[in-house]
Every structure is written in structure tokens, then in C-alpha cells.
Amino acid sequence: MLPFYLFTLFATVQAQIQHLPGSCSFESSTCGYTSDPNFLSWTLNKDGSFISVDPGLEDQDGQEDRSEGEERSEGEGRAVLLGPSMEQEDWSCLRLVYQLSGSGFLQVQQRREGESFDRALWSTQTASDSWLISSIDLQNSTEPYRIAIDGRPGENKGSSVAIFEIRINPGYCLECDYEESHLCGYRNQWNTNVNWYRGGGAARDTQSNIPYVHTQHSGAGHYMYVDSVYAKTFQEVAKLVSAMTTVPMSGCLSFQYQRGEERGNLFSVYTRDQAGQYQELWRADPEDQNLNDWTATTLEWIPVQVDIKAPFPLQVVFEVTFNSPRGGHVALDDIAFSPEFCSAETEPTFDPSIANCDFEVGFCHYTQDQMEGSPWKRVSVKPNIYRTGDHTTGAGSFLLAHSRLSPRAGYISRLLGPPLPGNMKYCLRFHYSLRGFQQTDQALTVYLQDQSGITQDRIWTQNDKSRGVWIATDITFQSPQAAKVVFVSTCTNFWDCGSVALDDISVSLGDCDLTAGLLLSVPGHCNFEMGHCGYIQDKEGDMGDWVLVRGPTPTSYTGPKGDHTTGVGYYMHIEASNMLPGQNARLLSSPLRGSSGPQCLRFFYQMYGSGTGELSIHLRQDGKDVLLWKHTGEQSITWLKATVEYQSDQQHQVVFEAIRGSSIRSDIAIDDIVFESGPCPDIEVKMTHSPGNSNDIE
């Protein structure tokens, strides 16, 4: 097999290939790329034509100063390479040739003016002893931005992060004419007997039965081909696989192919998602054969167009199966992609957000079947110390089944969602909370109901018995025909009729396991499920610590029963039993860039306990703190949403400070912190009453 990713081959650049601003081979300069002065510096190695960063003396000193088991801070051992300002109205593809030696981390980010956080485009922690290539889609943008490359070599001796070349070409990363030796990130999936090779070129054998390239229709161009001459077993398979796209892809995929000996091979095209699941897009028809001998003078390439509807990252797989050594050949060239579907008659990708609802302004597109019993009721609970409010804000609305005792038993509450088209994979997410003291074996079940309303399939049943906690649930499902999601709560008798609450329903396309990564990639978003997100303790300005925990706090009648994100995940809190009255704990964000416009901070907090002290938010810059927000005393047993708008035109940090109250029932917790550029879109609910005795359902 011909090696696809050779260091020397990648250095050979075709003169006719167009490279956009931001491209750099680092042969004699950094092409406008500079090191962020707030971190370590990248070093240009002129002899080897690459730029690299490794643990310097500064990082080694920091390692010696840290106590055993203490993690490296956010900025320690980190180097950020900033590219020149770019503004591209059309899609483009960034190809990065890189190497991680030993251990380390490499991430490509997009930095926009006015935003305190960089948006992650791609990352890796895969170490290698050779150069690797990544393909990163850059969406069209009318606003200028810069590429930021974040390199963090590991602490092990010999660890380093290096970049050999950055190429930015117009078009999508899926597109390829195979004129460049990197093959646009396409790779052959190795098979002992049959494999894809790059063919063509100026040195083409005139006696060869391999076709002329489609791009130039001459021997000077290149294409990919596979033949059966070495096939030894029945159904030998050769696969040519694109790089995984870094953004969702929906549109028209087109390519040119040639195929001989139609009875001896099968040519198909698939998409493959991040979970490794295949979906067939197209299969060559035996009637499409236009030749049995590739030396024929009437040789022509066959064009193909096929629609892709994938609201998630994917790979395209070109697969050829041979039945014998006489299975013929397949050639491939000029892969292209358009965001417009191939045919104007193609239905647009369905928008599943029609099924989203937080019940703040009604039932959205949900309806009820009231023929069989008690309806779901839309209710709200004022912040109080007895009953849990909604999940969205802590003071908003949600749905409640069996909220009143009924004089009769044996009824159900059915909530029907809007119809969803068939033959598509969906991810359903929602939060539920069990209420009351009765048994709740049938508190909540989710079904798929067909268009007739007669047939329904159960896709989920509630098993968790936790009360007073909003539990997050996600369900991946697919139906061969249009169907509705139905939430059902059953009341068998007085002792088996516990009430259940429902809130924040959302539906997206694709597998839940795949879309979860997209949800967690929001810049400036931290739900503490993967750690501290760069937040650190203020070692000099406080006398206590914020602690990362899950589940209820150890002291009764204070603190949350679970986190806000999922109900069973992690959050940060101060444990009052380990502190004295008046002692404080300060949690500092990583350094944030300043901007000329407003910034919005959103987070959830829980201040429950008779001795609760104070929670405040400060803006820290130039060594001084400015108070932005403060709440004192017991607020509610539920998680409450807070929004804080501020402005800073210089580097700064945001500080979460909690002060322990008069008793051990003074735990304070925070979760789901989000920073966004621009003014806050919503206004925080103002509390104008004492929460102590409020237990009203409105």
C-alpha cells in the first residue's frame, strides 16, 4: 500500500492549488502567527521548518512548587498561537499537520472580537511518533476572527507539541480532487489484499488500463482507484474514508466514478457517525456500467449526486466489494459538496425544535388526551424552603400530574407531543421530578404513538425513586413512520398515585450520545461534570474552599439533594460544617479577555438552610474587586437562576465568594455557569417576599 501521510510528500505543493490567508509552512517565518503573551511561547525551528512548544524551565519550576497530587493550573504549561485576522464569506477547510510527542493536548479554536472565550473547533490528545493531519471545517463568516492554536505539552520528559504546516483552502473538507498528496484527509482502511491507491500523474504508463483523471482529462492529474487483482477470498472489501467533519453536514454530495466488470464488484457510499453507525447513501446500479475494458476509447466518467441529511459530524465512506481477482476496477475523482440539496424537490431537513418546551408561556405544541382521566396541570411554585420549583429558573412554570387527590382511582394523564416524521433518529431530553409520599412505580412512562393513535411502543420507564430532585433523562429513538411522543402517568389507587413533575423537554436529530458532545462544547459553559473547568481556589483571599461534590451534602436541612444539570451529577459548594461563622471561600475563574461591549454571566445557585450566609459575585481586575451581585440569607430549597451583566475592557476574572452563616446549616452551592457575549437576554426574577413560609402553587 502507498503511504498516505508522508512528511516529505506533504511538503510538495501543487502550484495551482489556492491557499487562503492564514496558511503557513513555517519554513522561514510564522506568517503573521504570534504567541499570546499571557502564556508560554511557541518556538520556530528553522532547520526543521516547524513550530513547537515543550515544557520550559518556567513549567518545571511550577511542577516543583506544587504539592503532591495537586493539578496543574489552567495557564501553566500552556502556549497559544494566534493567527492573523481573517474574514471569509465562503466555507473553507483548515488542514493542520501536527505531532504530539510523549503526552499533551492540542486544540484549534476560533477567537472573535468581543468574546471572552475562544470557541473550540477541534482537539486531540493522541500522541504519535510521526506527523498527523487533521481537517477542520471553517464556516463562512462576515465577522473577522483569528485562529488560536492551544498547545499543552505533558509534564513527562520529552513531551512536546509541534506544528509543521497550516493550510486553508476554499471549500468543504469533504471535497477533494486528489491533486495534493495529503488526499484531503481521506485514508485507506487497510486490507491485506485490496486497497485504494492514488493514481495518475505525469508519469502515467501509456499502456495502463487505469483511466485518465476526470479533473483534467489527461495523464497529469490524479484520482483514487482500487482493483481486484489481488483479491483472494469472496467479498474482499476496500474502504476509502474521509476525515470526520467538525460540523453537521446537510446538502448535496457529488462525485465522478468509473467501474468495470459489473458482475464482479459492488460499489456503495455510506455515512458513518461518531458512534461508528453506517447509513447507506447510494449504491451503483449494474446498468450504470459504461465499459468492461478501461482502455476503450469511449471511456467516460459517471457523475453522481446524492443528498446528505446529517445534523451531526460524519465521515463519508466509499466502499468496494470484490468477489474474485477478476472483479474489475473502480476509480473515484472530484468529490464536491454543496449546502443546497441536489434537487429542489428534496424536503428540507426537519426542525425538531417544534417539540421543545419549557412551559413558561403555555403548553407549546403539546396537547392532552383527557378522555381517560386527570389532565396534566401547568403550575408554578414561588421560591420557598419546602417545595421544589421548576427546573428552568427555579421560579417558573412546569407540568404536574396528579397534583390533586381524585375521588376515584384508575386513571392516567397523557401528554402528546407534535408529530415527528418517520425514518429519522431523534434524541429526546427532559427533566422529571417525583413528588408526594405515595408509591411511584408508574409515575412516568414515555411511548411512541403512531398516526392512527392505536399502536404505541414504550421507549422509557421511570426507575429512579429520588424525590424533590430534577432528574435529566435522554432517549434515542427511531420510528419507521410518523409518530408522537406521549408522556403517561398512571394512578392505580390512592397508595400508588404519587405525583410527577415534567419540565424542559427538547428534541434534536441524531443519537443522544453524539449530540451530548455538542452541548458540552459551548465556550464559557461549565457544569462541573468533567472537572473544575479552570476554576481555582483563591489561596490568599479566603479561609475556606469550594468543594466539587455530587449527591446531597452531609448536613441535613441545608444544601441541595443533587446538582442542577442532571440531578445526579457534580456541583461546587461550601461545606459549612468545616468552616467557622464569617469565614469565606472564593472561587476564581480563569483569566478572561476584555471587550468593549457587555458580557452576560448566567449561573444557578442554591442557598437553603436556616443559617445561610452570603453569596456574592465580584469582578476582579488590576488586583481589585468590584461587587456585581449579592444575595444574603436563606433563599429557596430549589436551584435558582441568576443573571449578571457586566462590562470590562481588560483582562479580568470573575469571583464567586461564599460566606459561612451563623450555623452549620449554611451550605451554599453553584452549578451550570455560562458566559456569553452581549447583554443578558432575560431578566432575573426579583424576590419581593420572604421565602420562609411560601408554599403556594399558582
Residues in CB range of 149: below 8 A, 6 or more apart: 80, 81, 83, 96, 106, 107, 108, 109, 163
Q: Are domains 187-204+220-285+299-338 and 352-513 of this chain identical in fold?
A: yes
* Torsion sign over Cα 436, 438, 440, 444: negative
Tens-digit pLDDT profile for residues 431-488: 999 886 566 667 899 999 998 888 789 999 988 778 889 999 999 999 889 999 999 9
What pLDDT score was predicted for residue 600?
93
Mean pLDDT of 162-180: 93
Mean pLDDT of 286-301: 54
CATH class for domain 352-513? mainly beta
Q: Quick one: which of 674, 669, 644 has its CA closest to 533? A: 674
Mean pLDDT of 647-660: 94
Q: Which pLDDT band, with edges at 50, 70 and 90, does 72 fall under?
A: low
pLDDT at 541 over 80: no
Domain limits, the chain: 34-55+76-170, 187-204+220-285+299-338, 352-513, 525-677
pLDDT at 81 over 50: yes
What pLDDT score was predicted for residue 159?
92
Q: Which helix (H) or strand (E) holds 59?
A: helix 57-65
Tens-digit pLDDT profile for residues 345-398: 888 888 999 999 999 999 999 999 766 667 899 999 999 988 999 999 999 999
CATH class for domain 525-677? mainly beta
Tens-digit pLDDT profile for residues 259-290: 876 667 899 999 998 888 899 999 998 665 54
Per residue, the 3-state secondary structure of 433-489, as one string, reads: EECCCCCCCCCCEEEEEECCCCCEEEEEECCCCCECCCEEEEEEEEECCCEEEEEEE
Report the DSSP beta bridge partners of residue 317.
241, 270
Mean pLDDT of 310-334: 90
187-204+220-285+299-338 — its CATH code? 2.60.120.200
Least confident stretch, 230-244, 275-289, 309-323, 489-503? 489-503
How far is it, in rounded angstroms, from Cα 283 to Cα 177? 21
What pTM does this model have? 0.84
Least confident stretch, 388-397, 539-548, 682-691? 682-691
Tens-digit pLDDT profile for residues 547-570: 999 999 999 999 999 999 999 999
Q: Quick one: which of 484, 415, 408 has its CA closest to 448? A: 484
Q: Which pLDDT band, with edges at 50, 70 and 90, does 62 fall under?
A: very low
* Span 34-55+76-170 CATH architecture: Sandwich (2.60)
pLDDT at 188 over 90: yes
